[in-house]
Amino acid sequence: MAYDYHAHAAEEADKYSQLVRDTAHQLRSDPAYQPYFEGYDPASVEVFIQRYAANKAYWLKQGPTHLRWRIHAASEFRTQAYERLWEIQQKKLFDVQERWRAGEIELPGVSISRQFSYHFEHIPHRLDWLPPITAAEVALYRDYLLSDDCRDVGYGPNVRHTHEWQNYEDMRELALAANPKAVFDPTPYPDWYRYYDARTGTRPFQRPDHRGEREAFYRGLARAERNKTATPYPPPDPRPSWLQGKPGLDLFAEFATRFEADSADLLALRAAYQRGTDHRLSTDSNLTDALVLNVPLLLDAQERLPLDDDAPDWRQAVIDLGNRLRKTLLAVALEEVYEDEYLLRLQTGLALAPPDPDQSAEWEKEDGWLDDLRANILRGRELNGEPRDFNY
């Protein structure tokens, strides 16, 4: 049977009204309340009874929803804080990767550099050779979280989320480039890493990438061998592709003008649509979207929070305030999950929970592509007259 929204709404309204009537009747008739009411004017007592009955019914009806929202919000901050806790290990893993690439250390189960970005990045909780997270490291990360250096919390045009933690080669290329703007598809060095380096004296990208360079050399030899026997690509079609050199909408106008009998009306409708939707991609739209996402959190704040007087736009001021509140709540949750979840499991010998259970499960085993990469490297070493091993 199909869900009847209107019938359900009418049924809920009847339940609410009946609860109001039952509560009011109980307040008027139950002797237990009368000594309390006798101290007040009878007319005001009746007004109180009606208001109390209505409020009680509303609280009983709506309260559970708001309670569930609060529980959900608190749980969400703990979940996010636990994920962020592992960013501490990501930095350790990055520094270890740099030393491994330089040939300074050996690591169990590590044979090629891409294991760091294609596998280890997603399972830091499984890497026994990384030292455990310490209270001092949590305190440092908490300071970072609350600082202006942390730009990946919340919403808004100024927020910059980090998506890659172990892409050493691309980060190194950008960091050492004479003209960083010329780097294609750059991968920035994470803000957390910069914060950590500045406070610990760590200097990234100062070591040689010995292993990475050797791997690239061996892969190049194997690729050259494959290209000799590979089937050549068919010659390209000399005709231009249908979008080459023309924006899609310009081509649309050209085509419509040539083939549509009512092209003027069609293009007028297109112009009207563009005028009505262009704002969705504007900065104002981004501000509005972020504002809508931050307001519920601010409305639920337990204290009065001051806006930044220097913000160029009131919406940006509200967004910044919401993001600062998120940082504060995350900082509190960070210390809680470190004590309640991470340390507890560590001390009791329980397996550490993954940073993100929904994503980590698929990374428990290596991607088969890494085996193909290993085979290419070994073949390259063989072509170069070297042993088929990873001792380079």
- Pick the range with the lowest mean pLDDT from 65-74, 108-117, 146-155, 208-217: 65-74
Please, which pLDDT band fits residue 6 given cuts at 50, 70 and 90?
low
Has residue 112 been placed in a domain?
yes
| Same-domain status, 105 and 187 | yes
Residue 224: which domain range?
Answer: 86-228+346-383
Has residue 264 been placed in a domain?
yes
| Same-domain status, 105 and 176 | yes
| Same-domain status, 142 and 207 | yes
Has residue 21 been placed in a domain?
yes
Residue 137's alpha-carbon distances to 98, 128, 334, in angstroms, are: 20, 18, 11
| Same-domain status, 49 and 98 | no
- Total domains, the chain: 3
| Same-domain status, 118 and 202 | yes
The pLDDT tens digits for 208-254 are 999 999 999 999 999 999 999 888 888 888 877 665 555 556 777 88
Which of 36, 67, 98 is the endpoint of a domain? 67
Has residue 30 been placed in a domain?
yes
The residue among 367 and 329 whose pLDDT is bigger is: 329
pLDDT at 233: 85
Looking at the whole model, is its pTM more than 0.85?
no
Q: Among residues of the chain, what percentage have pLDDT more than 70?
A: 89
| Same-domain status, 221 and 93 | yes
Q: With 90 as the cut, is the pLDDT of residue 203 above it?
A: yes
Q: 377-383: which pairs have CB atoms within 8 A and are 24 or more residues apart?
A: 377/112, 377/215, 377/218, 377/219, 377/222, 378/218, 379/218, 379/221, 379/222, 379/225, 380/217, 380/218, 380/219, 380/220, 380/221, 380/222, 381/218, 383/221, 383/222, 383/225
| Same-domain status, 171 and 222 | yes
Has residue 147 been placed in a domain?
yes
pLDDT at 280: 55
The predicted model gives 326-342 an average pLDDT of 95
The residue among 94 and 269 whose pLDDT is bigger is: 94
| Same-domain status, 108 and 213 | yes
Identity of the amino acid at 81: A
| Same-domain status, 187 and 54 | no
| Same-domain status, 93 and 55 | no
Tokens linked to 163: 């998506």
